[in-house]
Chain A
Amino acid sequence: MRSLTRKFTDDQIMRYSRQIILPEVGGTGQRKLLNSKVLVLGAGGLGSAAIAYLAAAGVGTLGIIDNDLVEISNLQRQIIHGGNIGMSKAKSAESFVRTINGDVDVVTYEELFQAGNARKTVRGYDFVIDGSDNFPTHYMINDACILEKKPCSHGSILRYEGYATTVVPMKGPCYRCIFKRPPPPGLIPNCQEAGVFGVLPGIIGSIQASEALKFILGIGELLTGRLLCFNALDMSFYSASAERNRNCAICGDHPNIWEIDQRNYVETMPEECRFKVQL
């Protein structure tokens, strides 16, 4: 644990000077960042931007969980993995962080985020960034964070559009309050089917990093109760407001989710796929 009163080194004064100058940050805020722990779930497109900015800002501990390997098709938008094709994404992200800021301790998890590790993994962090790319994982991250009372910024992207929202448990709606249930199977195409505009995860992931930094610093307004949507084609942002659902299965008045059970987070296959499987 770093001290909240420890003197900065000359290198740190130079490295963080532009944010120490900010009236809302100062040395006190910089020490908060250096003492903070943020977990990034997914070192893909959203995670790349989030990891880069959190590391640059001096977040003291970055947890990075991803069980994939870097592929050449990732590099169009996953900008931290250059030169690392074939390497574990978590390890590749770690090596990127080391090149930009030695103040950051990286904890890598080369594993799936699943029922057996979900709550335990988020427990040790101050803030969680959901950079996952599928509905079951979005819900599992939400539920683990609600049960462990951890704030989380959720992000999602497809084609030219994306959104971000921040959940602070019991202080606004959770992901389940906003999206009561996943869309019907096959309705939303996945990234492989639909494609994604490369800069889009950079923009949404940067918004998520910004939410984490603001939460740690205790400044500004978070995207709680607000779904911020972005369209890169017409270059527009718009907000949709959301309220806590008293009937929410996890954060409502009478919740019925008390633990993470893997059976509740299974992606239902589209009908045409099921048909093929049966054949």
Chain B
Amino acid sequence: MTEELDLRGEVCPYTFVRTKLKLEEMESGEDLIVLLDDAIATANVSKSLRNEGHQIKGIKGISDGVWEIIAKKG
């Protein structure tokens, strides 16, 4: 099952806090797609997710100024 979290308009550190809280509601092995509109936030959230033991399956720009992180809950 894949969940989605739209964090466009959100700033650090709340981008990661909200991602972390969302992952806590999910089961291990499930995927989460996070939408962000800031390049630095995209890099920071990905790094923090890795540090907490989650897998980053992909990061891609999906339109001008919008990025998507696909994470698998560890």
Return chain B residues, CB-CB under 8 Å to A23: 51-52
Contact with B along A90-116 (1 / 0, CB 8 A): 000000000000000000000000000
User: How many residue pairs, one in A and one in B, have C-beta atoms under 8 Å apart?
Assistant: 27
Return chain B residues, CB-CB under 8 Å to A14: 14
Chain A interface size, under 10 / 10 to 19 / 20 to 34 / 35 or more? 10 to 19
- Pick from B21, B48, B52: contact of A13, CB under 8 Å: B21
Residue of B whose beta carbon sits closest to that of A7: B21
Return chain A residues, CB-CB under 8 Å to B20: 20-21, 26-27
Residue of B whose beta carbon sits closest to that of A23: B52
| Cross-chain contact B17 with A20 (CB below 8 angstroms) | yes
Q: Which of A8, A23, A27 has the most CB of B within 10 A?
A: A27
- Residue B18, interface by CB 8 Å: yes
**A46 CB → nearest B CB, Å:** 32
Chain B, range 1-34, C-beta contacts under 8 Å to A: 13-14, 16-18, 20-21, 24
List chain B positions with a Cβ less than 8 A from chain A.
13-14, 16-18, 20-21, 24, 48, 51-52
List chain A positions with a Cβ less than 8 A from chain B.
8, 13-14, 17-18, 20-21, 23, 26-28
